[in-house]
Structure 1
Amino acid sequence: MAHFAVEDLTFTYPEAKKEALSGVSISIEKGEYVTLCGKSGSGKTTLMRHLKTVLTPHGKRTGRILFDGQLLDTVSLREQSARIGYVMQDPDSQIVTDKVWHELAFGLESLGCDQKTMRLRVAEMANYFGIGTWFHRNVAELSGGQKQLLNLASIMAMQPDALILDEPTSQLDPIAAADFLNTVRKINLELGTTVILSEHRLEEVFPSADRVIVMENGKVLAEDTPRRIGQRLHAEQSDMAAALPSPMRIFYGVGSSLDCPLTVREGRRWLSEELKDTKIRQDSLPDPGETEEPEAKDAAVALKEVWFRYEKDAPDVLRGTSLSVPKGTLFAVVGGNGTGKSTMLKTVCGICRPYRGKVMIDGKRIEKYKAEELFRGNLAMLPQDPQSLFVKKTVEEDLVEMLADVPGSIGEKEELINGVARDCEVMGLLSSHPYDLSGGEQQRAALAKVLLCRPRILLLDEPTKGIDNFYKQKLAEILDRLKAKGATVLMVSHDVEFCAQYADSVSMFFDGGVVTTNTPARFFSQNSFYTTAANRMSRHMFKNAVTNGDVIELCRINKQN
Structure 2
Amino acid sequence: MEILQIKDLSFRYPGAERNAVEEVSFSVRSGEFLVVCGESGCGKTTLLRLLKPELAPAGELTGSIVYGGGERTPADIGYVLQNPDNQIVTDKVWHELAFGLENLGLPTEVIRRRVGEMASYFGNQDWFRKRTDELSGGQKQLLNLAAVMVMQPKVLILDEPTSQLDPIAASEFLATLQKLNRELGLTVILAEHRLEEVFPDADRVLLMDGGRILLCDAPERIGAALPAGHPMRAGLPSAVRIFQSLHIPDRCPLTVREGRDFLERHFGSRGGMLPEPEYRHGEAVAVELKNVWFRYERDLPDVLRGTSMQVYAGELYAVLGGNGTGKTTMLQVIAGIGKAYRGKVLVDGRLIREYRGNSLYHGLLALLPQNPQTVFIRDTVRADFYEILEAHGVPKQEREKRVSEAAARFGIAHLLDRNPFDLSGGEQQKCALAKVLLTGPRILLLDEPTKGIDAGAKQVLRDILTRLKADGMTLLMVTHDVEFAAETADRCALFFDGEILSADTPSRFFGGNTFYTTAANRMARTLCQNAVTCGQVVRFCTEGTDA
Q: Shorter chain as normaliser: what TM range?
A: over 0.9
Matched, 1:256 2:256: no
Q: Which residue of 1 aligns with 2:28?
A: 28
State the shift of 1:263 in Å. Answer: 0.7
Matches within 5 A, 1:195-214: 195-214=188-207
Work out the CA distance in 1 between the residues paired with 2:203 and 2:534: 25
Matched, 1:175 2:168: yes
Q: Which residue of 2 aligns with 1:13?
A: 13
Kindly provide the amino acid, as one letter, of the partner of residue 86 in structure 1: Y
Q: Which residue of 1 aligns with 2:347?
A: 361
Quick one: which of 215, 219, 230 aligns to 1:238? Answer: 230
Q: Secondary structure at the residue paired with 1:85? A: strand
Q: Percent identity?
A: 54
Deviation digits for residues 84-128 of structure 1 (CA, Å, limit 9, x no counterpart)? 111111010001111111111111111112111111111111111
State the shift of 1:147 in Å. Answer: 0.6
State the shift of 1:35 in Å. Answer: 0.2
Q: Determine if contact 1:44/1:198 at 8 Å carries over to the other structure.
A: yes
Deviation digits for residues 234-263 of structure 1 (CA, Å, limit 9, x no counterpart)? x54422111110001011112211211111
Q: Determine if contact 1:282/1:554 at 8 Å carries over to the other structure.
A: no
Q: Secondary structure at the residue paired with 2:151? A: coil
Quick one: which of 368, 388, 396 aligns to 1:382? Answer: 368
State the shift of 1:203 in Å. Answer: 0.1
Q: Which residue of 1 aligns with 2:430?
A: 444
State the shift of 1:543 in Å. Answer: 1.6
Q: CA RMSD in A?
A: 1.8
Q: Which residue of 2 aligns with 1:469?
A: 455
Q: Secondary structure at the residue paired with 2:51? A: coil
Q: Determine if contact 1:296/1:324 at 8 Å carries over to the other structure.
A: no
Kindly provide the amino acid, as one letter, of the partner of residue 187 in structure 1: L
Matched, 1:221 2:214: yes
Count of aligned pairs? 546
Q: Which residue of 1 aligns with 2:92?
A: 99
TM-score by length of 1: 0.94
Q: Which residue of 2 aligns with 1:331?
A: 317
Q: Secondary structure at the residue paired with 2:527? A: coil
State the shift of 1:284 in Å. Answer: 3.8
Structure 1 unaligned regions, length at least 5: none
Q: Which residue of 2 aligns with 1:121?
A: 114
Kindly provide the amino acid, as one letter, of the partner of residue 361 in structure 1: V
Kindly provide the amino acid, as one letter, of the partner of residue 466 in structure 1: G
Q: Which residue of 1 aligns with 2:263?
A: 271
State the shift of 1:542 in Å. Answer: 0.9
State the shift of 1:285 in Å. Answer: 2.5
State the shift of 1:69 in Å. Answer: 6.6
Q: Secondary structure at the residue paired with 1:242? A: helix
Q: Which residue of 2 aligns with 1:305?
A: 291
Work out the CA distance in 1 between the residues paired with 2:394 and 2:151: 58
Matched, 1:60 2:60: yes
Work out the CA distance in 1 between the residues paired with 2:310 and 2:67: 55
Q: Secondary structure at the residue paired with 1:140? A: helix
Structure 2 unaligned regions, length at least 5: none
Quick one: which of 404, 408, 412 aligns to 1:418? Answer: 404
Work out the CA distance in 1 between the residues paired with 2:366 and 2:532: 31
Kindly provide the amino acid, as one letter, of the partner of residue 296 in structure 2: Y
Q: Determine if contact 1:296/1:325 at 8 Å carries over to the other structure.
A: no
| Alignment CA distance shift 1:154-1:415 (3 Å) | same
Q: Secondary structure at the residue paired with 2:318? A: strand
Mean Cα displacement is larger for which, 5-14 or 327-336? Answer: 5-14
Deviation digits for residues 404-436 of structure 1 (CA, Å, limit 9, x no counterpart)? 134455442111111111112211111111111
Work out the CA distance in 2 between the residues paired with 1:160 and 1:408: 54
Q: Secondary structure at the residue paired with 1:399? A: helix
Matched, 1:317 2:303: yes
Work out the CA distance in 2 between the residues paired with 1:120 and 1:33: 28
Q: Secondary structure at the residue paired with 1:403? A: helix
TM-score by length of 2: 0.97
State the shift of 1:529 in Å. Answer: 0.9
Matches within 5 A, 1:146-161: 146-161=139-154
Deviation digits for residues 188-228 of structure 1 (CA, Å, limit 9, x no counterpart)? 11111110001111000111100000000111111000011
